[in-house]
């Protein structure tokens, strides 16, 4: 015979707890420290599972795609750098392959995350240079917006550029030249960059109201890999030099 008395008592207890104005909760917290070092035995089943993928990844990262005659170095304290110039020139060529009327390419100093040493350039080098999933964006800017961008470049002591040169004096731009022609505020200009900057990243100014915007979906890193490979197929090595495209006038 069932004990209805016990069932009734349990039901009363549940109802009493659930109808309290202040819920009664019991919390128990336990912590454990696990030491992870070489004393832990390898799980051969797991290692054997991922090893083929690891080898495949390493083979791809170590694949040589080109050669650089110079060290491609970042130098954020200076108005231009060899790494920045290489990066911007690559952006411009990628942009021109999509829209031949593209005139300028822009990156930012701190968006470039690694140097590339003189010698073979590998896929891994480009991953280190641009580790983000940023995609190529082409913007058409009014002359006024390009002037705003030039002001930003000047007050931040220069940024990586291609297709455009300028001087900076007292943190202001002067002598702006685009594709060998003086800047004309009454014209429109097409600039190749990437979506992070086009969306206002790195506190950039002048890109937020483009006349037209083309989000290509092409990952910058993939575009740069293709760019280097195409140069190699044409028998061209990377030989980036500082050329005074952004110059501080003191």
CA distance linking residue 250 with residue 239, whole number of Å: 29
CA distance linking residue 72 with residue 40, whole number of Å: 41
Q: Is the predicted pLDDT of residue 27 greater than 90, yes or no?
A: no
pLDDT of 106-147, one tens digit each? 999 999 999 999 999 999 999 999 999 999 999 999 999 999
CA distance linking residue 131 with residue 113, whole number of Å: 7
Among the residue ranges 9-13, 51-55, 152-156, 173-177, the one predicted with the least confidence is: 9-13
Q: Pairing between strand 188-194 and 104-106?
A: parallel
Give the rounded distance of the alpha carbon of 58 from its chain centre.
22
Q: Which CATH superfamily is domain 58-248 in?
A: 5'-Nucleotidase, C-terminal domain (3.90.780.10)
Task: Report, as an integer, the average pLDDT of 4-19.
Answer: 49
Strand residues in the chain grouped as ranges (E): 64-68, 104-106, 119-122, 135-142, 161-162, 164-169, 172-178, 181-182, 188-194, 212-219, 246-248
Contact 71, 117 (CB under 8 A): yes
Task: Report, as an integer, the average pLDDT of 11-32.
Answer: 58
CA distance linking residue 122 with residue 105, whole number of Å: 23
Can you give the residue ranges of every domain in the chain? 58-248
CA distance linking residue 223 with residue 135, whole number of Å: 9
Q: Is residue 182 left, alpha or beta, with left meaning phi > 0 and alpha meaning psi from -120 to 50?
A: beta
Task: Round the average pLDDT of the chain to a whole number and report it.
Answer: 90
What's the predicted TM-score (pTM) here? 0.82
């Amino acid at each position: 015979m069932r004990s209805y008395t016990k069932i009734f008592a349990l039901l009363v207890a549940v109802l009493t707890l659930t109808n309290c104005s202040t819920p009664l909760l019991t919390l128990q917290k336990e912590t454990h420290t696990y030491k992870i070092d070489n004393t832990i035995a390898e799980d051969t089943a797991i290692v054997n599972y991922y090893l083929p993928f690891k080898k495949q990844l390493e083979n791809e990262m170590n694949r040589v795609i080109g050669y650089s005659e110079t060290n491609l170095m970042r130098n954020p304290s200076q108005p231009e750098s060899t790494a920045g110039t290489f990066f911007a020139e690559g952006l411009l060529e990628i942009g021109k392959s999509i829209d031949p009327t593209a005139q300028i390419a822009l990156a930012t100093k701190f968006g470039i995350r690694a140097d590339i040493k003189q010698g073979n350039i590998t896929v891994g080098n480009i991953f280190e240079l641009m580790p983000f999933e940023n995609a190529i964006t082409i913007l058409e800017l009014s002359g006024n917006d390009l002037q705003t961008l030039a002001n930003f470049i000047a007050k931040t002591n220069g940024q990586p550029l291609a297709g455009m040169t300028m001087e900076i004096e007292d943190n202001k731009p002067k002598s702006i030249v685009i594709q060998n022609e003086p800047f004309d505020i009454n014209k429109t200009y097409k600039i190749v960059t990437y979506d992070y900057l086009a969306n206002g990243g790195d506190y950039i100014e002048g890109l937020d109201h483009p006349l037209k915007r083309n989000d290509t979906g092409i990952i910058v890193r993939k575009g740069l890999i293709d760019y280097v490979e195409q140069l190699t197929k044409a028998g061209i090595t990377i030989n980036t030099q500082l050329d005074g495209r952004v110059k501080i006038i003191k």
